[in-house]
Structure 1
Amino acid sequence: MTTTLSERVSQSAFDGSMLRVVLLMDLHEGAQQQFFEAYEQLRHDIAAVPGHLGDQLCQSFENPSQWLITSEWESAPQYLAWVNSERHVEQVRPLGACARTMRPLQFTVLRETGKRYEEAALPTRGRLQPAPRLGAGIVRHALTFTVKPGSEKQVADLLSSYASPASQVDEHTRLCRTSLFMHGNRVVRTVEVQGDLVAALRHVSQQPEVRAVEEAINPYLEQSRDLSDHESARMFFMRAAVPAVHHIAATGREPAEVTRHALFYPAKPGCGPALAKFLSRQDEA
């Protein structure tokens, strides 16, 4: 199969661009006052987080139960440092209790237009990309979690023994491959997708064989989870999700069989984002 470069914009979480985060929520009936109180507490807490620039609370005028919280951040690593912390988990828990559904979305800011931006002296303006980067439209998503020491072999056998799900998700989305890595008792699972990442992850999670394996490894996890419980599942994915990365370029002939390798970099405490940024720039170059 020959892979050709398609006209698709590809993003990186580590290029220093400004980030806009959107949280879509559908509230439980009668939960508005509780929601306001939770939001007021959260916005005061988040104001002190490094990299946070501001936020907005919006309500749909078509459906009063639908709410939107948007926030702007100086860069993705600053947001990710907060959102992947246990502090964040505790801070957003009261907000999640008010909602039937919550869906967070993250967007890199590519352009700013309009009078408000022209007059504002934003320190992040220099971080806007001079030109979009093009890639093959392939996104790699990863989850990482730890298992109880001594259970590594059982977990590896479970995670590598089930049949792969169908690769074609819909007419726009294809599951390219999945990979599994282990270092000690830490598991890293990656999924490569061409098209809609969310649709592909939903497709994988709905497969009976995948669901059975997830249930089978639950007793071995260091941090318990219940994927049948919405709140427990949300907290698990919040902790386990690694920033999705785009393939900037894909040229030449792809071999029929691909062997995946992993390099483990034990970064100094507090240096993980800097190392990830450095490595992403090396790969892009």
Structure 2
Amino acid sequence: MTVSPVVSTDTAPTDSGPDARPVRGASAEPGSRDAGPADTGPAGSPPASGKAAASGVTTSAFDGSRVRVVLMLDVHDGMQQEFLNAYERIRGRVAAVAGHVSDQLCQSLENPTQWLLTSEWESAAPFLAWVNSAEHLETVEPLQDCVRDTRSLRYSVLRETSGDGPADEPATLEVPNGSPRIGGNLVRHALTFTVRPGSEAKVAELLSNYVSPEAHVDDSTRLLRTSLFLHGNRVVRAVEVRGELQTALRHVARQPGVRAVERALDPYLEQSRDLDDPHSARRFFTLAAMPAVHHVASGAPVDDRTRRCALLYPVRPGAGPELARLLARQDAAAVRDARGPVLAATVFHRDDLVVRLVDVDGDPDAAPAAVLGLHDLAGVPEAGRLLETAAAGVDGPLTDADAPARLLAYARMTPLTDRRSAGS
């Protein structure tokens, strides 16, 4: 079980990074001032140490690990019994969600307003599907009026030790994933929403020109980079944050420039919202969330040849989860190829929406199959089964000579903004 963060007039941001020249790589440590607007072109940068980013998989919802979710709640003064009663009414419904294993509700020994709700899930995929669903919003609504603030943390279970064995030989229970993922203190997330047909040009203008928020959030959190893209009437906004994602998003939401552009967008949105209503704002941003389910980086050095692309795949109904897994497998292999063009790739997924953000060494059109995440021919037939290839103008199999180029041209999103903190 989880509870959505409290949203008042501090809405989720339109952007999460100040204007600057786009650079290459998966992340960059920002400096203390903003530069000018970014042009579409080179993208990415190495970490602040100057060393290449750690290679390999750093984020994955597909490693088979059980997931432990830790939700810290601050309950309104005097509403502890009301909160507990609301939890009692909904916990049976949560327990019936596919993939849910258990919940444990705890109250602080020292502070009666501080509560802890932990839940265990069979894997990340069912949890992410649940927490970003309309059903979840409806289920936890009775708790929201009792809660002042929340913070949600999600972990893969790597080891589990029981107390049944001898003191000098504790029993270690078998878990499916034995190795930690290596990476930096970087969180990736995306939001997506649709705008009214015919408003795309105005929306593109709004999202390309606005006052950027301050990069510094607090001593442990900074805004790193935001990349905005448009495909038809769908907007995708991918953010990179060093530190605590929720803290950074709330910081950005308080910025006057961001608040102004969010309100300017309201008339063009297909899903109506009222940012002054916490319930309306919470619903909009929960349903807009696209979690990063897989990220890989090659660790290769950077230069001005790199291009950042976003791809929105034409997914067959019900095939979104399978496609996200396929792309994750393909990317994990692609970054190990020192001669390949893929330097980093992030798969964002919810339901049948699959978006992949990829940093490419050189011209993406020169290697369409690799950029699409279909460099391994063994995965091409499976991709053909999961994609609506006819929508992309591909009449034959994806193994046809011109099929990858046609699919890439169709899936590639139009870049609106690619901004990162200056000085990195």
TM over 0.5: yes
For residue 148 of structure 1, what is the aligned residue in structure 2?
196
For residue 75 of structure 1, what is the aligned residue in structure 2?
123
For residue 84 of structure 1, what is the aligned residue in structure 2?
132
Relative to structure 1, the CA distance from residue 205 to residue 148 in structure 2 (aligned partners, 3 Å threshold; closer, same or farther) is same
Gaps of 5+ in 1: none
For residue 250 of structure 2, what is the aligned residue in structure 1?
202
For residue 182 of structure 1, what is the aligned residue in structure 2?
230
For residue 19 of structure 1, what is the aligned residue in structure 2?
67
What is the aligned-residue identity percentage?
A: 58
Relative to structure 1, the CA distance from residue 92 to residue 205 in structure 2 (aligned partners, 3 Å threshold; closer, same or farther) is same
Residue 32 (1) aligns with residue 88 (2): no
SS in 2 for 1:277: helix
Tell me how far 1:199 sits from its aligned partner: 4.0
Query: In 1, distance between residues paired with 2:55 and 2:106?
Result: 34
Contact 1:135 1:246 in 2 (8 A): no
Contact 1:138 1:247 in 2 (8 A): no
Name the amino acid aligned to 2:143: L
Deviates more, 1:261-270 or 1:58-67: 261-270
**How does the TM-score come out when normalised to structure 1?**
0.86
**How does the TM-score come out when normalised to structure 2?**
0.60
Query: In 1, distance between residues paired with 2:163 and 2:118?
Result: 20
Relative to structure 1, the CA distance from residue 103 to residue 176 in structure 2 (aligned partners, 3 Å threshold; closer, same or farther) is closer
Tell me how far 1:271 sits from its aligned partner: 2.3
Query: In 2, distance between residues paired with 1:165 and 1:257?
Result: 28
Query: In 2, distance between residues paired with 1:157 and 1:210?
Result: 14
Please tell me whether Structure 1 or Structure 2 has the larger radius of gyration of its CA atoms: 2
For residue 47 of structure 1, what is the aligned residue in structure 2?
95
What do you get for the CA RMSD once the two structures are aligned?
2.9
Tell me how far 1:126 sits from its aligned partner: 4.1
Name the amino acid aligned to 2:202: Q
Name the amino acid aligned to 1:132: P
Deviates more, 1:72-81 or 1:188-197: 188-197
Query: In 2, distance between residues paired with 1:100 and 1:84?
Result: 20
Gaps of 5+ in 2: 1-45, 334-424
Tell me how far 1:254 sits from its aligned partner: 2.1
Query: In 2, distance between residues paired with 1:198 and 1:36?
Result: 25
Relative to structure 1, the CA distance from residue 259 to residue 120 in structure 2 (aligned partners, 3 Å threshold; closer, same or farther) is closer
Query: In 1, distance between residues paired with 2:288 and 2:68?
Result: 21
For residue 320 of structure 2, what is the aligned residue in structure 1?
272
Name the amino acid aligned to 1:277: R
Tell me how far 1:51 sits from its aligned partner: 0.4
1:31-83 CA distances to partner (integer Å, 9 max, x unpaired)?
Answer: 33332232122210011111000101111111112211111000111011112
Deviates more, 1:260-269 or 1:222-231: 222-231
SS in 1 for 2:60: coil
Contact 1:84 1:239 in 2 (8 A): yes
> What are the residue-to-residue correspondences of 1:229-268 with 2, within 5 Å?
229-244=277-292, 247-256=295-304, 259-268=307-316
Relative to structure 1, the CA distance from residue 15 to residue 56 in structure 2 (aligned partners, 3 Å threshold; closer, same or farther) is same
Relative to structure 1, the CA distance from residue 173 to residue 85 in structure 2 (aligned partners, 3 Å threshold; closer, same or farther) is closer
Deviates more, 1:8-17 or 1:60-69: 8-17
Deviates more, 1:88-97 or 1:177-186: 177-186
For residue 284 of structure 1, what is the aligned residue in structure 2?
332
Query: In 2, distance between residues paired with 1:135 and 1:18?
Result: 20
Relative to structure 1, the CA distance from residue 32 to residue 170 in structure 2 (aligned partners, 3 Å threshold; closer, same or farther) is closer
1:219-260 CA distances to partner (integer Å, 9 max, x unpaired)?
Answer: 222222233443333322221111135744342322358542
SS in 2 for 1:143: strand
SS in 1 for 2:118: strand
1:110-136 CA distances to partner (integer Å, 9 max, x unpaired)?
Answer: 221232798798xxx442x22112134
Name the amino acid aligned to 1:255: D
For residue 415 of structure 2, what is the aligned residue in structure 1?
none
Contact 1:136 1:250 in 2 (8 A): no
Query: In 2, distance between residues paired with 1:80 and 1:283?
Result: 21
Deviates more, 1:241-250 or 1:261-270: 241-250
Query: In 1, distance between residues paired with 2:207 and 2:68?
Result: 35
